Structure 1
Amino acid sequence: MYRQQTDVPTDEVKESTVAAEHQFVLDLTVALGASAVSGYVANRLRQPALLGYLAAGLLIGPSGFRLLNDVQQIEELAEIGVAFLLFALGVEFSLAELRRVQKIAVQGSLWQMGLTTVLVSVVSILTGWATSPLQGVFLGFVLSLSSTAVVLKLLTERGETVAVHGQLMLALLIAQDLALGLMLAFLPALVQPERFWVVLLAAVLKFTLFLGGAIAVGRWCIPRLMRTVAATESQELFLLTTIALCLGIAWITSILGLSIELGAFVAGLMVAEVDYSEQALGRVLPLRDTFACLFFASVGMLIDPQVLLNNWVIILELVTVVMVGKALIILPIILRFGYSFKTALLVSVGLNQIGEFSFVLSLQGLELGLISDQQYLLLLGTTAITLVLTPAWLNSAPWLTRSLQKIPAVDRWLSQMAEPKLLSVPDTLAEHVIVAGYGRVGQVLVNILLNRGYKVLVIENSEAAIQKLRHRRIPYIYGDADAEQVLEKTHLPQAKAMAIALPDPASTRLLLQRALARSPHLDIIARSHTDREIDLLTQIGAREVVQPEFEAAMELGAHLLRSLGEDTVGIQQVLNNIRRDRYQSVRS
C-alpha cells in the first residue's frame, strides 16, 4: 500500500504539540489563579473585583513579572469573555425593562452621552489630544459610558437599587449599554473620513439588516428552539445551545464587518424575550465571570506602569476633568426631569466614572488607529482610578449636600427646589397616619391601614406611584420625605403616627430626626435595611424598628414550629421576645 511521506519527524511534532498544550494550561492557570487572588484582595479592600483582575494582569504580564509566555492565547480567550459579558448583559436588561423607564432612560441618556461627546471632542481638539473631530468624537464615546458592574454592586450593597436615585442610575446605565452596540457599529466610519458618509451609511445599513433579522429570528425561531431543547430536560444540552447561540450570532456579526461584542449583546436581547431567559442566564453566568476576569486581566497586561508614572500629572488632570465634568453634565439633566437636587446629586456622583465597556471601545479604537498606544494606556489608568474613587464619591454626596445648604444663597435655591410639586392634602386632615414611601412595603402598609378605617397621608417621590395614589384618591405629597418643606405640609402635629418605609437608609435616618424635632412624642415605626441600622434608628428615637428579612425568617420559623407540634401561645411568646430585644438573639 502506498503511504504518503512527510518531511517533518512525527516524534518532534508530537513533542512540540504536547509542550505547547502544557504551556497553555500553565499560562491559563497562572492567569486565573492570579485573578482569583487579586480579586480577593480587592474585595477585602472594599474595591470592585475587576480592579483586582486589572492588577493581576499587570503583575503577571510583560510589564510585571512576565509569568506568561503566550499572552496572545489569553487575549483570544479574553475576547470570548467580552462576548459572554455582553450576552449576559443583554439577557439581564431586556427591552421590556428599558420600556419601563423609557423617558429618563432614552431622553436623559441621549442628553448625557451627546453633551459628554461634544464637550470631550471640543476639549480634546483644543488641548491637542485629538488631531481631528472624528477622533474627538471617539474619545467622547469612551468617556460618556459609566460602569454598570461597579454602580450596580454599590447600589446592591447599600440597599438602594429600588431607591429613586438607584432606579435612575440603572435606567441611564441600561440605555448606555444599549448605545454601546451602536457605537461599535459606528467606529469603522471614524477611521475613513474621506468616505465617512459612505462607510457610515453602510454600517447603519448592515446594523439595520442585522437587527431586523435578529428581531425576526428572536420572535419566531429562538423561542421554539429554546422550548425544544428545554423539553429534553438535559442541562448540558441547554447550556451548549445557549453558548452556540451566543458565539454563533457573534460570529455572524464579525462576518458582516460588525463587532463580535455587538452580536453577543443582540443575542442576549433575543434570549431575554423568551420564557427560558433566567435559566439561560444562570447557566452562562459562571462562564461569563470566568472569561470576563481573563478579559480584565488581559487589559491589565497592556498597562505599562512606567508610562503611568511618567504621566501621573496628566492622569490626575484627566481624572479630575472626567469626574467633575460628567457630574456637572448629569446634574442639570436630572433636575430638568423634575427630580430633587438631592436625587440629582446622588445620580451625578454615582455615574461620573468611566465604565468597563470603555475598555472594549478603547481596544477597538487602538486596533483601528483612532488612538495611540500612549493614549490607550493613559485611558486605562484614568478609567481604573475613576472606578476606585466611585464609592468615595457616593459616600460624600450627603456631606456635599449639607455643605451646600450652609451657603445662604444656595440654601434658598435648594429650599425652592424641595417644595412639593404636587400635593393632595385636605386642610382639615388630622388624626391620620403618615406613610413615607409607597413601594412594595408601603403599599401593603397603606392597604392594611385603609382596611382598618384609618386616615392615611402618603409621601412619595416616584411619579408612577403618585399616579396610583391619585387613581385611588389617597391623600399624597409628591416630594422627598426627608425635606423640611415637605414635612411642613403633612400636618405633623395632628398626626397619630408615622411609618417610614423608604428604600434609602440615609433618607430614613434624616426623616426620623426631622420628624421627631417637629413632633417629639410622635409614634414612629421605621424600616431597617441592615443589622447596624436597627440600633441606630432606635437611638435616634424610633418607637419600633422592623427588619423585613428577620420578620420573614421569623414567620417561616413560626410555621415550622407549628408543624413540629408546638402550641401557638408558646410560638407567639418566642416571637415577642425576639422583637422586644430588637432581634439581638437571632442576629449574627
Structure 2
Amino acid sequence: MDIYLLQNVAMILITAVIVLLIFNKLKLPTMIGLFITGIVIGHVINDTSMISTLSELGVVFLLFIIGLEFSIEKFSAIKHYALFGGILQVSLTTILVTLLGLGLGLVLNSAIFLGFLVAFSSTAIVMKIMQQKHLNHSVQGRVTLGILIFQDIAAIVVILITPLLGGQSIELHTFPELLIKLIGVAILIVIGAKWFIPLALKDAAKTKNRDLFMLLTLFICMGTTFATSLIGIGPELGAFLAGLLISNTEYSHQTLGYIQPFQDVFMSLFFISIGLMVNLHLFIYNIGIILALTTIILLIKFAATLLTGIVLKLPNKISISIAILLSQIGEFSFVLAREGMTYGLMTQRFFSIFLGVSILTMSVSPFLQKFTPQITKLLSKSSYFQEEGELKTLPEELTEAQPIKDHVILVGMGRVGKQMTKACNQFNVPILAVDMNPIVVEQQQNLGVPIIYGNASNENVLKQLRVTSAQCIVISASTYEGTLNTIDAARRLNPDIHIIVRTKYLKNIEEVIEAGADEVIPKEFETSILMFTRIMDYYNKDMDEIADAVNDLRSDNYDAFRSVSSEDVSAYLSNSFTEVELDSLRVYNDAHISDFPFEKNNLTVTSVIRDNSTIIYIDEKFQFLEDDIILFTGLRHDINKFFEDIEF
C-alpha cells in the first residue's frame, strides 16, 4: 500500500480525534469540529483528492438512507404538509434569496441558483436534533419531516436542472435515446422492487449470514447508482432510488442498521472535505460580509418557514419551532455548490463566502433550537401572535397520530414470544416484536402481529421498535452474545426500560444481570421445575405445597442456585417431599445410555434436556450428546451409589 496514502489517512484521523475530543469536552456540536478538522488538514496536506473522492460516498449513502426511510404510508399521512408546505417553504425562500442575490449584483441565473442553494435545510442536522429532543413523533417533528422529504426530492430535481441554469442547451436529437433509457430504468426498477430485490433479501436473510446480507445491500446501493450513472443520471438520484427499492420491504430497518456505520464514516469525511474547501484567508478577510449574510439568511429562512406554518394554519408555537429547525443551509447545498462551480454559476470568491455562511448556519442550529422557548415568548409579545395563538387549533390529521408508547418489545417470536403475544393481547398490553427469521416475520405479519425483521442488538432496529418509549423488553430468542448486545443497546437508548431475559443456563445469570438485565429466567432451571412438579403430581403431593417450594426457589433471581452446578439443581427441588428423589447429571462427552449405571442402581431416566428441547422418550439405545442434562429419579442411597460408580 502507498505509504503516502497511509500517512494522510493517519493524519486526518488523529486530527479529527483530537478536535472532536476538545469539542466533546466543550459540549459543542460534532459537525463544527469536522469542519475545523478539514480547515486544519487543508493547511497540512497538499493532495486532498482522496478525501474528496471518499466524501462523495457519504452523499451517496446519505441519499440511500433517505430512500430507505422514505415511506409511502408516512408520506401519505403528511402529504398536505410535505407537498403544499414543502412547495411554499422552498418557493418563498428561493424567491427571497434570489432577490437578495440580485441586490448583491449577481446575474439572474446565479441569483436563482443561490436561492436554490439556501432553500434546502440539513436533513442530517435536523434529524439529529429531533432525535436528541425526542421530537420525531411530535407535531412539529412530523411536519418538519414532511417538508424535509419534499426538499430531498426537490434537491434531486435541482441537480438535474443545474446544467440548464449554467447555460447548457438541451440537445433535442438525444431526447428519444434518453427517453428509452429512462423507460428501461423504470422497468428495471419496477421489476426489482416487486420481485428481484425482495426475494434476494429474503434468501439472504434466511441464511442468517450477516456478511452476505450486508454485501447484498451494498451491491443494491452501488449497483443501482452505477446503472443510473451510465445513462446520465447523477449518482445521488441512483442512490435514492436504490434506497427506495428496499424501503417497502420488511428488511429496510435491518438494512439501515448495516448501512448507517458506512454513512456515518463517509459523511464525516464529507464534512471534513467541506472544511478543506474553505479558504481561511478569504474567510477572515470577508468575515464581516459572512456574518452579515449569515444573519440575513437565517432571518429569511425563519420568516419563509414561519409564513408557511401560518398558511398551513398551524399553531404559532409549532410554526416557530419548525422555522428554527429548518433555518440552516443543508448538506445538499454543498453538492449543488460544487455543481454550480462546474457550470460557472459561482465564482471562487463567492463560493468561499457561501461555504463560510453555510458552515455558520449549520453550526448555530443546535444553539438556536435551545432558545426556542425564549424566541416563542419574545414573538408572543406581538398582538398578532398572541391573539392568533389562542384561536388556532391543531389540524385533525395531526391530532389523530398517536405513536405507540408504554409497550412491550418482544425479541424473538418462538414459542415464548407467541405465548407472550397472546397474553399481552388478552390484557390489552401493546406490543412490538422483532425476529431474525424472515419466514416467521411473514407468518406473524399475516396474523396481524406488529413485527419487523431485524437484529434487536442493532440500535436502528430498536429505535424502529420505539425503545425510548417502551416500558419493558423481553429477550427470549437470541445467541448469548446477541442477548448481551441487545441488553447493552436497549439500556443505552432507554435507561429506565425493564429488561427480562430468558437464558439457557444458570451459570449465565450473574453475567446477564451485570450486563443490565432486571430479571433473568434460566430455561435449564425452569425445565427442572417443570419435571419436578410433574413427578410430585404423579405421587399425589399437595400442589399448594409444591407451588410454595417452587416460588421459594425462584425468589431473589435464583440466588440459591447461582453457586451450584446444574447437576445439583434437581436434588434441591425434591428435598423433603418424598423418598423418591429427582437428580440430574450433565454429560461432558458423547455417550450411550449403557455407559451409565442407571439400571444397576435401580434409577429411572425421566428425560433429557438438550439445547432448547426436552426429550422424554428414552430407550435402551439412546445416545447422549455433550452438554445434555439427564434427569433421573430413585432413592437417595441408590443415587449416591450411582455417583460413586461413575467417578473415574
Would you say same fold, with TM above 0.5?
Answer: yes
Change (3 A) 1:22 1:558: closer
User: Greater shift after overlay, 325-334 or 70-79?
Assistant: 70-79
Aligned partner of 1:131 in structure 2 is 107
Change (3 A) 1:567 1:409: farther
The equivalent position to 2:120 in structure 1, one of 137, 142, 145, is 145
Query: Where does the alignment leave 5 or more consecutive residues of structure 1 unmatched?
Result: 1-17, 423-434, 445-450, 453-502, 504-526, 529-547, 572-588
Q: Do 2:317 and 2:389's aligned partners in 1 also have CA atoms closer than 8 Å?
A: no
Encode CA deviations 1:185-224: one digit per residue, 9 max, x unaligned: 2222222265599999998997676455434432232222
Aligned partner of 1:51 in structure 2 is 32
Could you tell me which amino acid in structure 2 is paired with residue 411 of structure 1?
Q
Q: Do 1:90 and 1:268's aligned partners in 2 also have CA atoms closer than 8 Å?
A: yes
Aligned equivalents of 1:220, 1:395: Cα separation in 2: 47
The equivalent position to 2:153 in structure 1, one of 168, 172, 178, is 178
Shift of 1:175: 2.0
Aligned equivalents of 2:17, 2:184: Cα separation in 1: 41
Aligned partner of 2:380 in structure 1 is 405
Encode CA deviations 1:528-575: one digit per residue, 9 max, x unaligned: 9xxxxxxxxxxxxxxxxxxx957642888775499997779999xxxx
Could you tell me which amino acid in structure 2 is paired with residue 91 of structure 1?
L
Q: Do 1:94 and 1:273's aligned partners in 2 also have CA atoms closer than 8 Å?
A: yes
Change (3 A) 1:219 1:316: same
Aligned partner of 1:34 in structure 2 is 15
Q: Do 1:169 and 1:347's aligned partners in 2 also have CA atoms closer than 8 Å?
A: yes
The equivalent position to 1:280 in structure 2, one of 244, 255, 260, is 255
Change (3 A) 1:25 1:276: same
SS at match of 1:162: coil
Q: Do 2:140 and 2:321's aligned partners in 1 also have CA atoms closer than 8 Å?
A: yes
SS at match of 1:371: coil
Aligned equivalents of 1:549, 1:78: Cα separation in 2: 33
Aligned equivalents of 1:127, 1:570: Cα separation in 2: 76
The equivalent position to 1:553 in structure 2, one of 498, 505, 515, is 498
Shift of 1:303: 0.6
Q: Do 2:31 and 2:363's aligned partners in 1 also have CA atoms closer than 8 Å?
A: no
Could you tell me which amino acid in structure 2 is paired with residue 553 of structure 1?
H
User: Greater shift after overlay, 104-113 or 395-404?
Assistant: 395-404
The equivalent position to 1:70 in structure 2, one of 37, 47, 50, is 47
Higher relative contact order (CA 8 A, sep 6+): 1
Aligned partner of 2:404 in structure 1 is 440
User: Greater shift after overlay, 333-342 or 223-232?
Assistant: 223-232
Could you tell me which amino acid in structure 1 is paired with residue 77 of structure 2?
R
Q: Do 1:83 and 1:264's aligned partners in 2 also have CA atoms closer than 8 Å?
A: yes
Q: Do 1:192 and 1:199's aligned partners in 2 also have CA atoms closer than 8 Å?
A: no
Change (3 A) 1:109 1:23: same
1:110 matched to 2:87? The reply is yes
Aligned equivalents of 2:188, 2:234: Cα separation in 1: 16
Q: Do 1:185 and 1:203's aligned partners in 2 also have CA atoms closer than 8 Å?
A: no
Aligned partner of 1:523 in structure 2 is none
Change (3 A) 1:157 1:105: same
Q: Do 2:302 and 2:323's aligned partners in 1 also have CA atoms closer than 8 Å?
A: yes
Q: Do 2:178 and 2:231's aligned partners in 1 also have CA atoms closer than 8 Å?
A: no
Aligned equivalents of 1:191, 1:168: Cα separation in 2: 33
Aligned partner of 2:60 in structure 1 is 83
Could you tell me which amino acid in structure 1 is paired with residue 404 of structure 2?
R
Aligned equivalents of 2:338, 2:391: Cα separation in 1: 46
Encode CA deviations 1:125-145: one digit per residue, 9 max, x unaligned: 2321x223x222221111111
Aligned partner of 1:470 in structure 2 is none
Q: Do 1:355 and 1:383's aligned partners in 2 also have CA atoms closer than 8 Å?
A: yes
Could you tell me which amino acid in structure 2 is paired with residue 118 of structure 1?
I
Encode CA deviations 1:409-454: one digit per residue, 9 max, x unaligned: 653343334x6888xxxxxxxxxxxx9995534999xxxxxx99xx
Aligned equivalents of 1:372, 1:201: Cα separation in 2: 35
Q: Do 2:201 and 2:251's aligned partners in 1 also have CA atoms closer than 8 Å?
A: yes
Q: Do 2:316 and 2:388's aligned partners in 1 also have CA atoms closer than 8 Å?
A: no
SS at match of 2:371: helix
Aligned equivalents of 1:301, 1:360: Cα separation in 2: 14
Could you tell me which amino acid in structure 1 is paired with residue 37 of structure 2?
A
Aligned equivalents of 1:372, 1:397: Cα separation in 2: 36
1:327 matched to 2:323? The reply is no
Aligned equivalents of 2:357, 2:394: Cα separation in 1: 40
The equivalent position to 2:218 in structure 1, one of 243, 262, 286, is 243
Whose helix proportion is higher, 1 or 2?
1
Change (3 A) 1:305 1:239: same
Change (3 A) 1:551 1:386: closer
SS at match of 1:308: helix
Aligned partner of 2:281 in structure 1 is 306
Encode CA deviations 1:280-334: one digit per residue, 9 max, x unaligned: 2222222222222122211211111111111112111211111111111111211
Encode CA deviations 1:116-165: one digit per residue, 9 max, x unaligned: 1122222212321x223x22222111111111111111122222222211
SS at match of 2:250: coil
Aligned equivalents of 1:314, 1:199: Cα separation in 2: 44
Q: Do 1:35 and 1:53's aligned partners in 2 also have CA atoms closer than 8 Å?
A: yes
User: Greater shift after overlay, 560-569 or 185-194?
Assistant: 560-569
Q: Do 2:314 and 2:395's aligned partners in 1 also have CA atoms closer than 8 Å?
A: no
Q: Percent identity?
A: 28
Aligned partner of 2:166 in structure 1 is 191
The equivalent position to 1:256 in structure 2, one of 217, 231, 247, is 231
Shift of 1:366: 1.6
Q: Do 1:40 and 1:52's aligned partners in 2 also have CA atoms closer than 8 Å?
A: no
Q: Do 1:27 and 1:69's aligned partners in 2 also have CA atoms closer than 8 Å?
A: no
Aligned equivalents of 1:94, 1:226: Cα separation in 2: 18
Q: Do 1:95 and 1:269's aligned partners in 2 also have CA atoms closer than 8 Å?
A: no
The equivalent position to 1:415 in structure 2, one of 381, 390, 399, is 390
Aligned equivalents of 2:147, 2:77: Cα separation in 1: 12
Query: Where does the alignment leave 5 or more consecutive residues of structure 2 unmatched?
Result: 409-426, 429-465, 472-492, 502-516, 527-549, 557-648
Q: Do 1:39 and 1:53's aligned partners in 2 also have CA atoms closer than 8 Å?
A: yes
Change (3 A) 1:398 1:28: same
Change (3 A) 1:200 1:29: farther
Q: Do 1:108 and 1:334's aligned partners in 2 also have CA atoms closer than 8 Å?
A: yes
Aligned equivalents of 1:279, 1:186: Cα separation in 2: 34
Aligned equivalents of 1:549, 1:288: Cα separation in 2: 24
**Please, what is the CA RMSD of the aligned residues?**
3.8
Change (3 A) 1:73 1:413: closer
Shift of 1:89: 2.2
Change (3 A) 1:119 1:254: same
1:389 matched to 2:364? The reply is yes
TM-score (norm 2): 0.60
Change (3 A) 1:135 1:215: farther
The equivalent position to 1:220 in structure 2, one of 151, 172, 195, is 195
Between the two proteins, the alignment pairs up a number of residues equal to: 438
The equivalent position to 1:158 in structure 2, one of 104, 109, 133, is 133
Aligned equivalents of 1:145, 1:383: Cα separation in 2: 11
Q: Do 2:290 and 2:357's aligned partners in 1 also have CA atoms closer than 8 Å?
A: yes
Q: Do 1:330 and 1:348's aligned partners in 2 also have CA atoms closer than 8 Å?
A: yes
Aligned equivalents of 1:259, 1:104: Cα separation in 2: 28
Aligned equivalents of 1:569, 1:256: Cα separation in 2: 67
Give runs of aligned pairs for residues 419-498 of structure 1, distance below 5 A: 439-441=403-405
SS at match of 2:249: coil
Shift of 1:112: 0.8
Q: Do 1:74 and 1:294's aligned partners in 2 also have CA atoms closer than 8 Å?
A: yes
